[in-house]
A and B are shown apart, each in its own frame.
Chain A
Amino acid sequence: MADVVMAGTGGQGIILAARIVAEVAVRMGYDVKTSEVHGMAQRGGSVVSMVRWGERVFSPLIPRGHADFLLAFEGLEGLRCLPFLKPGGRVIVNLYRLDPLPVLRGDADYPQDYLEIIRGFAPGTLAIDAVEMARAAGNPRVASAVMAGALSSLLDFPADIWEEAIRTLVPARALEANLRGFAAGRRAG
């Protein structure tokens, strides 16, 4: 059983990444629950998705201090969700910074040392440049598949199950790029 929190901003493909992970857990025979954010927050606001699996899962929301994995699609949003991580939980950080409006305007400071802060709290944090890796895989928009790939390297599920899940969920025209992105993420993990 495991709990995964994915944090980022609207438009980063977090919902897709969460669906892929959930689909894999289903194929492994677990009870699965997810929770997603739709609507207003997607207009550039903070977005969180959660995926949980186990023998029996009750709450779709992960309590603070319970997550085994935190996937930070963006630095600041990763920090914001750090309280969900349990002691010993692992973090995967996408080295990507997207300034929120208060920072753009010069009214607030972006926590530039987010990676050190996260590492200080969660040793063993994995940092990757998912956007660059996605670009190398042919499309910068498949960064969420790269993140799913990185997570897959920390989990004990067979590679072909991941691939099947991606094939079920990704539309044909984006499939190859997503599979390449996933493979790149998996190697990086």
Chain B
Amino acid sequence: MRRRLLSGNEAIALGAYSAGVRVGTAYPGTPSTEILEELARFPEPYVEWSPNEKVALEVGMGAALGGARTLVCMKHVGLNVAADPWMTLSYIGVNAGLVLVSADDPGMHSSQNEQDNRYYAVMAKVPMLEPSDSQEAYEMVRAAFRLSEEHDVPVLLRTETRVCHSRSMVEYRQEREEVDLPYEKDYVKRVMVPGHARLRHPVLIAKLERLREEAERSPFNRAEMRSSRVGMVTSGVCYQYVREAFPEASVLKLGFTHPLPEKLIHEFASHFHRLYVVEELEPYLEERIKAMGIDAVGKARVPRTGELDPDSVGRALADIVEMDTGVRGGGWSPPLQEGLPPILNELPARPPVMCPGCPHRGVFHALSRMKAVVSSDIGCYTLSVFSPIEGIDCQVCMGASVGMALGLEKAFLSSEANRGKEKKVVAVLGDSTFIHGGITGLIDIVYNRGFSTVIILDNRTTAMTGFQPHPGTGRTIRGEETFALDLAELGRAVGVESVRVIDPWDLEETGRVLEEEVGAERSSLVIARRGCVQRERDREYSPYRVDAEACNDCGLCMRLGCPALVKREGSVAVDETLCAGCSLCAQLCRRGAIAEVGGDG
């Protein structure tokens, strides 16, 4: 046995490796991204960044059928994209084990919603495990592979930000299991025509009953008896919060949470006149416990939005636990703090921003001058929503920008109230996002004779999630060279009438080309291509400087929203330590007051 401090994501990768995983697939997404990156540190498994989560799961299904233990990873919303294969995979089964890791993000640290993916286990009728720390993450992924093979179902490992990105001690083994199962044709089991699927659905339901028995004896579900008066039920990282807030409470700690161990829950409940259910997001456990006829308090007290912590758990339950126990605050003590300076309530926010030199900035500058209706997507460019750029109108999910643009255009086209706006509609999305979910929307624009302009912000990487390569970059996850998808050729191949490639650091070109394309009544694709500045830190450049004499403080450059431009006593200055030398501010300045440091002005 070895011991190391590991993040939940590292522990999952290590557990999967030790379980003999031969195939790992994923599309990046916080907080799940590092799992596959860690798995790729090992030489043996085949690992890939897939173009999106649906393809990741499909490759995974094939690999599991082909006899290899397979790990498929994604953030919570990724499972929406992969939901179609997910719902039928459980009918056909797996052959070798398949574990899907879904990383939820309560509190939305880096996400567009905080959906609770435990329901995906219920919908697909598959077993689910929820780790509460890195040790469990390691053990659960190993157990998940055994369960998956024994019951011939995929397993959902539902984790979340505070497990993925917390480090805790893990005891682990050095060895790697060998699993190599034969593939045999069985089309009644695996070709889901209605007649076959009707046979498979009852089989799946029967598996669920056997899985419930597994849940009853699983070591991941355990009753910790302490107080005879207070019984709490919890799962995932909330276990830690419960233990910290109410150290004396008895706790039913659930880790195998679908199907639920009903006997165990009844047994635990029999010791208490009611149960307290502590879970993040939806009342998943609570509703099921109540449906079993057990008196339980959950979301009436514990917040349903945002993430929990020991404070919020303590505050939510202290008074009723006090009633049950007679112990002051139920054993929870509120934060010891007085005399915090009032100014703390008025601090300026620090929203994330597009970096100095970000190639996305020039495009948004041009679009805002054109008063375009900007249907946006998810990536670093979404940060253009904040003041002063306020450059985008709507954003929902990956790839949606393109279809939404066409919808806006078609609505405007038949509208009196919005006359003329149909010629102002653009979709903006990153290169990774375009490949993930934008291509079919582009085909729709061409097919249905739309003329919304699609702008790909091609920074040659998946920046938002930490610079992963994608099919357009010509590199694999292991850094090997491969074919690079040519976005311009792809545009032409699907029939786009006008395909243009521009350099977004050239404001004149960017403005001119967008003016030409956005108003035109033909389909158009503009590829704004320049590598992400964060990836090119070693490039040679000199920062810019403002000549305070020449500056008349007109404020034009400040509209770029560049963090390297600072307002100081009546004029603008460049913070040279932050400036990346993109020159956009200098290109904008009408008085020629901004020039390269060391240049001849």
Contacts and interface: CB of A to CB of B under 8 A. Distances in A.
A61 interface: yes
B340 A83 contact: yes
Interface stretch (B14-22, B255-263, B350-358, B588-596): B350-358
B167 A42 contact: no
Contacts of A45: 350-353
B598 interface: no
Interface string A6-48: 0001100000000100110010000111111111111111100
Contacts of B310: 58-59, 61, 63
Interface string A52-76: 0000011111011110000000001
Interface residues of A, number: 55
Most buried by B among A83, A86, A102, A117: A102
B31 interface: yes
Interface string B396-420: 0000000000000000000000000
Given A35-B162, A36-B166, A38-B466, A104 B567 contact: yes
B389 to A, nearest CB: 10
A15 to B, nearest CB: 10
B567 A79 contact: no
A46 B165 CA distance: 16
A108 interface: yes
Interface string B237-276: 1011101100000000000000000000000000000000
Nearest to B336: A65
Given A22-B167, A61-B310, A87-B337, A79 B350 contact: no
Interface string B335-350: 1111111011001111
A87 B561 CA distance: 39
A130 interface: no
A34 to B, nearest CB: 4
A59 B17 CA distance: 27
A45 B169 CA distance: 29
A103 B389 CA distance: 15
A101 B380 CA distance: 16
Contacts of B561: 101
A166 B336 CA distance: 34
Interface residues of B, number: 57
Contact of B353 (A44, A59, A86): A44
Given A41-B109, A101-B387, A80 B355 contact: no
A44 B352 contact: yes
Given A61-B310, A101-B386, A121 B166 contact: no
A105 B5 contact: no
A64 B241 contact: no
Interface string B520-561: 000000000000000000000000000000000000001001
Contact of A109 (B5, B311, B348): B348
A2 B528 CA distance: 50
Most chain B CB inside 10 Å of its own CB: which residue of A9, A39, A121: A39
B368 interface: no
Given A60-B168, A63-B309, A26 B110 contact: no
Nearest to A33: B168
Interface in B307-331: 309-311, 314
B235 interface: no
Given A22-B5, A58-B243, A65-B336, A39 B166 contact: no
Contacts of B338: 87
A40 B350 contact: no
A59 B563 contact: no
Contact of A38 (B110, B386, B563): B110
A100 B239 CA distance: 36
A164 interface: no
Interface of B: 5, 7, 30-31, 33-34, 109-110, 133, 162, 165-169, 237, 239-241, 243-244, 309-311, 314, 335-341, 343-344, 347-355, 380, 383, 386-388, 464-466, 558, 561, 563, 565-567
21 contacts: A23-B5, A32-B167, A32-B169, A33-B167, A34-B166, A39-B31, A39-B109, A39-B465, A46-B350, A59-B309, A60-B237, A61-B162, A77-B350, A82-B344, A87-B337, A100-B349, A100-B350, A101-B386, A101-B387, A103-B348, A104-B567
Which 6 pairs from chain A and chain B are nearest by CB?
Answer: A65-B335, A39-B110, A39-B30, A45-B352, A60-B166, A108-B348
Given A22-B167, A35-B165, A80-B347, 15 more contacts: A36-B165, A38-B30, A43-B352, A43-B355, A59-B243, A60-B167, A61-B310, A82-B341, A82-B344, A101-B386, A102-B349, A105-B387, A106-B567, A111-B347, A117-B343
